[in-house]
Homo-oligomer: A and B are copies of this chain.
């Protein structure tokens, strides 16, 4: 944590977040699930998805697009598919509502998918794949965003920042989890460079003429780039398709039109795939999960880091210390709460 940060108790952080969200108009169920995701990110020192996001939530709710009272509706679409219509509410309650069915279907079928549609998605995907991996299943998650990112070989936005997340259960350890944007950088990172007056690296974005740029303002008006050239670009297209037309929901370009310039959290869908090692392996699950550990050892034994390792270390450290929060952000959140209550 930075020097001007303090620690809140988990209860205090929870109360602050919940009260802001309730005062902004969310139902208690939405306030609870959004708070859960925000606190998990804050404890893991993933500040971009932590308490800071409450400011965006309040703005999104005020903009009047999201339904703060939305009740997700679960549809048992097929033996291996559960659909959850978020009804234009936040995605997290839809995820929580559909999760038991996804888990039971996966155990029964061996593989199953959950399609969450018409949701406002602002959380990271790692809490979701981590929750599924905690049940002993393997998980993949995909979601589009708003079309800010050019395809490889192009200069104009076609894709969202389109994250992909994966979770793998580990015996007596936290799951192996990664969650990354298929864009070269997060849009928020470019925004932070702009605010700080700092140049961005070549490879993050093009200006509106399609030229490489180090100017964050020009980058935000131009097009972001995918990571890894044509391979990242192919993955990004795949995520548009899987979490868009496959599940009958908007792609990033359509979601951006739907936003009508409000600049709020993107509304679209999410696809989650879960796989059950027991069904694949019959017996021998323990032995195969143990074999997977040898892969993790071959990475860490040479001094390389596993994805999520830093996040898990922060989580452990803050378990005793509390939820770290910047003093300025805390003051701003208290001001927002006071205003909402006025």
Hey, which bits of chain A sit against chain B, CB under 8 A? Answer: 77-81, 83, 108-113, 115, 138, 147, 150-156, 158, 166, 168, 176, 178, 180, 182, 227-232, 234, 237-238, 240-242, 244-248, 251, 253-254, 273, 275-277, 279-282, 284, 288-289, 291-292, 294-295, 298-299, 302-305, 307
Is A241 touching B110 in the complex (CB atoms < 8 A)? Answer: no
Q: Which of B182, B246, B280, B298 contacts A275 (CB 8 A)?
A: B246
> Who on chain B is nearest to A252 by CB?
B295
Interface of A is mostly: mixed
A240 to chain B, nearest CB (A): 5
Q: Are A289 and B138 in contact (CB under 8 A)?
A: no
Please tell me which one of the listed residues B109, B232, B237 contacts residue A231 in the complex, with CB atoms under 8 A apart: B232
CB nearest neighbor in B for A78:
B110
Which chain B residue has the least Cβ–Cβ distance from A291?
B245
23 residue pairs from A and B, CB less than 8 Å apart: A77-B110, A78-B108, A78-B276, A80-B80, A80-B112, A111-B111, A138-B246, A154-B304, A155-B302, A180-B234, A227-B229, A228-B229, A228-B231, A228-B232, A241-B295, A242-B275, A245-B289, A245-B291, A246-B277, A246-B280, A246-B288, A247-B281, A251-B294
